[in-house]
Structure 1
C-alpha cells in the first residue's frame, strides 16, 4: 500500500524535491515503535472531527474528544496505552474534575469507553489498524484487540487518505463486523443520532476529501466559523430583499405622484 522512497534513485534530469526528499516514515526514529510524529493531515483531520462532533442527545459539556492522546486501558498494566488518532466519548465531563484539561484518558478513572475511534492509516501502522496483526506473549494487545475486546468501542473507523477509502466496523456480539457503506461513503450511528461520511471541501485552505459529521437529514454539522458565515449570508440576503422591496414601494409611490 505504501512505498518507502528513501534514498531515492538519482536521475538525469533530477527528480523534484517532492519525489526525492525523505518523509518521517522513511527515516528511523529514536523510538523504534513510533517512526515519526503525526503529519499535517493527522493534525487537521482530528480538529475537524472535534469541531463538528455534536450529538444532539448530549450537551457540549458531556462530550470529550481526544486526538493523539494516550488512552490507558488496563489497571493491571498501567503503563500500557494506545494513542488513537481521534476518539469521541459521550456522557463524561468535558473537563477533568470539572475544571481542568485532561493530560490523558484513563479508563479505570473515567469509567466510560470511547463510543467511536478513528484511525488515519499511516505507513507502518496500517496492518495493526486493520486487525491484521496479533499480540505476542507477554506483550501489550494490538489496537484492534484493545478497541474490540477490552474497551468494546461500538464504532471503529479507518480512513486511508492515500486511496480515499473509508471503512467502518461495528461491534456485533463482541466482534467487529465491517459495515456496507452507502454510495456516498456514509454511516449512520443511531445511538448518537449522528452520521459520519466523506466530504469534498476546503478546510484550512486545503481542498480534499475529509471526514465530516452530519445529521439525520444529511446536512453537515457546521463548525462555529461556518455557522457564523451562514448567518452573515442569510442576513445579507434578507437585507437585499428588504432593499428591493423598498425600491419597488418607492417606485409605486412615485407613480402615484407621491414623493418620499
Structure 2
C-alpha cells in the first residue's frame, strides 16, 4: 500500500502541523526505563553518514511519527529513527515536537526498535490490524512509510536483527561480523561492549562499513588527550636523545684530545 501524499503547501491550511501534534502523549508519560533513554542517545551521537552533513539529517528518540494524512492523529513512536535529506531543523529554524510525514515529505531511512517485555509480537509484525483501528507498526514501516532498513535489538539476549525493504516487503538482513550493513549511508550497525554513561554492557552503535567505531564526543576528547600526552612524551624523548647525543659528542671530543696529547708526548704530530 503506497501513499501519494499531497504537497505540504496544499495541506498547511487544513491539517495539523508539528505544533499541533506534540511528541508526548499525556496517557504515556515518560520513558519505560533508563536503557530506553541511554541507548537511543548512543545511536544519535554515532549516526554520522559520511555523505550527509549534520544540517541535512535528522534523528529522533521516542518521538511521535505521524504517517497518515487521512488520519492525522494516528502515529507510531519508534525508539529511534534517522532521516537523511531533510533539514536538521523544522523549516530550517525550529526544533521539532513531532515528525509529520505529510509536511516533511521524506520517510525515515532507518528505524530501530528496542524490545520490551510484551512488545515482541508488535515489533516483529506478528499482530494483526483491527478494522477501523490504526495499522500495526510493521505495516506502517513496511507498507506506508516504506522505511528501507528496520532493526530490532533485544537487550536481554543482546541479539540484533535487521530487515531490508526489497520489492516493497521486508526481508531478513544477513548480519556479517555481527553487524547490519546500510551501504547507502556508508554505515553499519553493530554491538559494542563498553562503558557508556557509567554502565558497562553490550550497546548498539553505528560504525563505519569497515567496522571502525564512530567516536563519541567524550571518546574524541579522550583520544585527543592521549595524542597530546603521546606527543609530549615523544618531544621529551627527542630532547633526551638530543642531550644524549651532545654528551656522546663531548665525550668523543675529549677522547680525541687525550689521544692527541698522548701522541704529542711521544713526539708524534697528530695533525700529520
Instruction: Report the TM-score, using the length of structure 1 for normalisation.
Output: 0.84
In structure 2, what is the Cα distance between the partners aligned to 1:163 and 1:114? 27
**1:1-260 equivalences in 2 (<5 Å):** 31=27, 37-182=31-176, 184-257=177-250
Q: Give, in angstroms, the shift of residue 36 of structure 1.
A: 7.5
Q: Give, in angstroms, the shift of residue 179 of structure 1.
A: 1.3
Q: Moved runs in structure 1, 4+ residues, more than 3 A? A: 34-37
Structure (1/2) with the larger helix percentage: 2
* C-alpha contact (below 8 Å) 2:175/2:181 kept by paired residues: no
Compared CA separation, residues 232 and 78, structure 1 to 2 (3 A): same
- The residue matched to 1:39 in structure 2 has which SS? coil
The CA deviation string for residues 73-111 of structure 1, in whole angstroms up to 9 with x for no partner, is 001000000000000000101011211110000000000
- The residue matched to 1:89 in structure 2 has which SS? strand
Unaligned runs of 5+ in 1: 1-29
CA-atom RMSD, angstroms?
1.5
Q: Which has the higher contact order (CA 8 A, sep 6+)?
A: 2
- The residue matched to 1:209 in structure 2 has which SS? strand
The structure with more radius of gyration: 2
Unaligned runs of 5+ in 2: 1-25, 252-272
Instruction: Report the TM-score, using the length of structure 2 for normalisation.
Output: 0.80
- The residue matched to 1:128 in structure 2 has which SS? helix
In structure 1, what is the Cα distance between the partners aligned to 2:36 and 2:48? 21
Compared CA separation, residues 36 and 226, structure 1 to 2 (3 A): closer
The CA deviation string for residues 173-213 of structure 1, in whole angstroms up to 9 with x for no partner, is 1000111212x310111110111101111100101111111
In structure 1, what is the Cα distance between the partners aligned to 2:113 and 2:90? 24
In structure 1, what is the Cα distance between the partners aligned to 2:99 and 2:113? 17
Compared CA separation, residues 240 and 35, structure 1 to 2 (3 A): closer
